[in-house]
Amino acid sequence: MQTFQVRPFSNSIEAILVALSLTTLKSLTETQWNRGLGAFAPDLISLAIYGVLGVFTRPTFLAFTLPIAIEALVWTYRRASAATSGQPSRAFWVFWLRLVGLPMLLVLMYTQCFVFVDTLFFRGNIYDMVLTPLNFLRYNLSSDNLAEHGVHPRWLHLIVNLPLIVGPGLLYYGIRAARQLWRPTPTPLLSEKGEKPVEGGTVFRAPLYVIVSAVTILSAFRHQEPRFLVPLLVPFIALVAQDSQLQCLGRLFWVSWIISNMALAIVFGFLHQGGVVPSLIDLHDRLHDLNANAPPEFNSTLASVVYWKTYMPPWHLLAIQAEGKPAPCLACCANTNPRPDVTSGRYVLTDLAGASSETMLKHIVGTPAQETLVVAPLYAEYGLPQGKRDCFELVDSEFPHLDLDHLPEAMAQGWYDGMTLGIFTVDTTCLGSEDAAVQ
């Protein structure tokens, strides 16, 4: 969990917001019903704000918080019904709108603010509106786009990723707690704050609903990484914590917990995509030497560096210094169309992520430079046509570099080559024209 949470993944923020939403729902449902509307407003407003923040962080947030939203709406309905019992239906709707009116208004306001900021950032104006969550969904609903990142069986989240994230011990006790909660007549549990029992154990089932909802919805997508399920750790802990068996956890649980977390810390903290940062350090030295040996009158592109089939590299680790020469132009391009002012710079750095080999070759041929460097796993280079592979020369490599998104392709090359990231120099004249490269 910490391996993922200390990294700047949107899943880390999503996990925090899911935990806050669960906590707020518990606070809302345990507030004494005889208190005024003002007692419920902070929790309802907080849920509304978390909802907007979560959706604009990762739209998959809806998969986790759909049960929370439903529980909150059902609670407002019951609260309004209880407060207006025996009164005309109009009184019910007035009371209900007083409960949800301000939170809904804040949802609209925050949504407009995020859309405005995104539009200004991505478009440079406020007229061509950008709906980031909608773009996210459109991208991930395309099978071609998902194929660039790796296509997995739909059962991977349930059978592999969920045990990886929560650990075998917590998963076992979570299943036991779920069976306990799913009894037909759960015993009403008294609220910590007072006087009215929590009806039917609904709020205590919320973590279970979150787990079922998230795994079911996320399993519909064919690209499934373990980090997508990081927000489920807190719901699992909440699910187990409310059961008396938490106090009776034996040595076997803690041993399995420690071993699984140590193993996953090694896999995801050091091995997975582990060659990216060392490769940047090696490239820093290579680009520095290339820059130092360039003639003073050289004004064209000195080096084109392409990262392919890897996670997005943190370009700042290159720490390029162009002493006495034009400042380097650094680009972190998520697509294959760098801006003209970037491609005309001294350095062109491009992240092609999971692009096809044809796209990668086309980009290389279309970006002339004194030296072209491609950083990619060795299995990706083996996948090139033989005539094109001869144009790539391996000059350095980084081991270990585990790519869990393309594990079958990597292991097909053997455990060592399959876990090695290569740094290649490319002879662009060997590749020929752009049309020939595509063919």
Alpha helix positions (H), 304-406: 340-343, 357-365, 378-382, 386-389
Residue 189: inside a domain: no
> What is the pLDDT, as a whole number, of residue 313?
86
Question: CA-based angle 235:237:239, to the nearest 5?
Answer: 65
Residue 190: inside a domain: no
> What is the pLDDT, as a whole number, of residue 144?
80
Residue 113: inside a domain: yes
Residue 368: inside a domain: yes
Number of domains in the chain: 2
Single-letter code of the amino acid located at 344:
S
Final residue of a structural domain among 270, 302, 322: 270
- Higher pLDDT residue, 340 or 89? 89
**Which of 223, 222, 215, 236 is CA-nearest to residue 168?**
236
Domain check: are 287 and 264 in the same one?
no
pLDDT digits (tens, 9 = 90+) for 248-287: 777 888 888 888 888 888 888 889 889 999 999 999 888 8
Single-letter code of the amino acid located at 325:
K
pLDDT digits (tens, 9 = 90+) for 329-352: 444 444 444 333 233 367 888 888
Final residue of a structural domain among 227, 250, 270: 270
- Higher pLDDT residue, 340 or 144? 144
Please give the Cα distance from 385 to 357 (Å, whole number): 9
Kindly state the average pLDDT of the residues 38-46. 86
Final residue of a structural domain among 225, 255, 270: 270
pLDDT > 60? residue 310:
yes
pLDDT > 90? residue 18:
yes
Do residues 215 and 37 make contact, with C-beta atoms less than 8 angstroms apart? no
Residue 195: inside a domain: no
Q: Which domain holds residue 262?
A: 1-183+203-270
Question: CA-based angle 144:312:356, to the nearest 5?
Answer: 30
> What is the pLDDT, as a whole number, of residue 342?
36
pLDDT > 50? residue 326:
no
Residue 197: inside a domain: no
> What is the pLDDT, as a whole number, of residue 47?
95
Q: What is the pTM of this model?
A: 0.74
**Which of 360, 328, 2 is CA-nearest to residue 148?**
360
Rounded percentage of the chain residues whose pLDDT exceeds 70? 82
